[in-house]
Amino acid sequence: MKTTQALISVASASELIRSGKTLSIAGDESALRQLPLGNWIGGTIPYFMASSGGTVNREDVFVTEVSDFISQPELRFYDESSLSQICRNAPENGYSVVIIPAFSDCHASFAANAPNYEDMYMKPLIGWIAGVHLDDLGKIKPKVVLGTSGEFSEECTVVMDVALPSDKFAQIDIVNLFRPGTGPCITFDDTGFSAGTCQINGAPGNLADYLLNNGIDTRLPLVADYSGAMINVSIKSIDKSSKRVEFYAPVFPGVEYRIAAPVNDYLDAIQSALPKANKEISFSCNCILNFLYSDLEGKRTGHITGPMTFGEIGYQLLNQTMVYLTIIE
C-alpha cells in the first residue's frame, strides 16, 4: 500500500478530493475553507513536518490519503455526550482517525475519560488535537471540519472509521523519547488538567512550589509508566498566586509521576527511535511542543511526516509524543 502523505497546495488537494480520494487533512483554517466538499475530514493547524523539514505554513495543507478499505469509510461528528461511543461504533477490523478541537469540552472529556471507553484498546484509535498558530491563541478557536458537508466545529470531534479486509490489520505505535528522571515520585488525589496539592515521595506537598523552588525545566513533562508505556503530561504554565500548575493533559490519581530526564539531542534520539525507512507509514503526527522546544523548523525527523499538533492520540491523549499507524498484512 502506497499512501500520499505530503504538504501540498490547496489546488492539488482539491484535485484529490474531486477525484474521489478519501483524505485526512491538516491546515490553517483559511486554507481548509477553500477545499471542496468530499470524502475528507480535517483539523486546523499551521505547523508541519514536511519532507523538506519542519515548517510553519498557512497556505498549504497536509494531506494523508486513506486506502485499503473494504467499504467507503464513515465520516461523522461526535459531540461530548456521544464521544464515549467512538470505539464501540468503530469497525471490528480496521481503525479510526480522530480529530478534536483543542480547549473544547470534547478535548477535556476525551482526555479524562477515554481510557474507560467501551472497546478502548480493542480497536485502534489514532489522531490529534487541532490547534492554531501560536500568535492566534485566545483570538481564534481551533476547529475540525467534516468534508462531506463542509461544516466546521469548535466543539465537536470528527471521526473517520476505516474498515480493513480480513487479511490486514492496523497497528499503532508511539515514539516517546522521555523517560522518568531520578527525582521524587509525585502522585495526585484527583483527575484534572491542573494541580496544586500533591504527594511528593509520599509526603504532602505543592507541585508549583516544588517546580519553582527546585528550578525545574518546565519543558520537561511529567512521565508515568502505564503498563509499560511511558505517557507524558506536559506542563502548560505555573500560576504563582494560586500555587497551581496547568497541564496539556490530565493527571490521574493512583499513578506515579516523575519529571522526565532531559533529552540532550532530540533529532539524534528520534532518528534512532524511528522505524526503518522501508516501513510504510499510513498516518502520523507529532507534538507542537517537540517542534518548539527542539527547534525543529527547517529540520527533518527522519522519513516520517505529518502535522505538529496540540496533542496526539494513540488510543488516549498523549503529549510530546509521535504517533504513527501502519497496516500489517
Buried/exposed code over 63-74 (b: 16+ C-beta within 10 A; e: otherwise): bbbbebbeeebe
Measure the CA–CA gap between 297 and 276, rounded to whole angstroms: 23
Percent of the chain with pLDDT over 90: 86
Q: Both 169 and 196 in a single domain?
A: no
Q: What is the mean pLDDT of residues 69-85?
A: 97
| pLDDT tens-digit map of 37-47 | 999 999 999 99
Residues 168 and 26 in one domain: yes
Please give the pLDDT value at position 265. Answer: 85
- From the number of C-beta atoms within 10 Å of its C-beta (0-12, 13-18, 19+), residue 180 rates as middle
Q: Please tell me whether residues 18 and 101 are part of one structural domain.
A: yes
| Residue 131: partners with Cβ closer than 8 Å, 6 or more residues away | 44, 45, 47, 102, 142, 288, 309, 310
Average pLDDT over residues 161-168: 96
Q: Do residues 199 and 94 share a domain?
A: no
181 occurs within a structural domain? no
Domain contains 180: no
pLDDT bracket for residue 2 (50, 70, 90): very low
Is 274 within a domain? yes
Residue 190 lies in a domain: yes
Q: Decide which of 243, 259, 275 is a domain's last residue.
A: 259
Q: How far apart are CA 15 and CA 249, in angstroms?
A: 37
| One domain, residues 216 and 235 | yes
* Residue 282 and residue 162 share a domain: yes
CA 272 to chain CA centroid, Å, is: 21
Residue 221 sits in the same domain as residue 291? no
Helix (H, G, I), strand (E, B) or coil at 232: strand
Q: Which domain holds residue 28?
A: 5-175+267-328
Q: In this structure, are 287 and 244 located in the same domain?
A: no
At residue 32 the predicted structure's pLDDT band, cuts being 50, 70 and 90, is very high
Give yes or no: residues 198 and 290 share one domain: no
Same domain, 111 and 46: yes
Domain assignment present for residue 100? The answer is: yes
Residue 293's CB is within 10 A of a number of other CB atoms, namely 16
What pLDDT was estimated at residue 99? 98
Determine the Cα–Cα distance for residues 31 and 9; give it in Å rounded to an integer: 9
Q: pLDDT, tens digit, for every residue of 175-213?
A: 999 999 999 999 999 999 999 999 999 999 999 999 999
How confident is the model over 132-157, as pLDDT tens digits?
999 998 899 999 999 999 999 999 99
Domain count for the chain, please give it: 2
User: Could you give the percent of the chain with pLDDT greater than 70?
Assistant: 98
Domain boundary among 206, 228, 259: 259
Q: Does the residue 162 lie in any domain?
A: yes
Q: Quote the mean pLDDT of the chain.
A: 94
Q: For residues 102 and 155, give the distance between their C-alpha atoms in angstroms, rounded to a whole number.
A: 9
469540552: which residue's cell?
Answer: 105
Residues 89 and 190 in one domain: no
| Same structural domain, 238 and 272 | no
Q: Which residue has the higher pLDDT, 282 or 276?
A: 282
Residue 296 CA to residue 292 CA, distance in Å, equals 7
Last residue of a domain, one of 205, 235, 259: 259
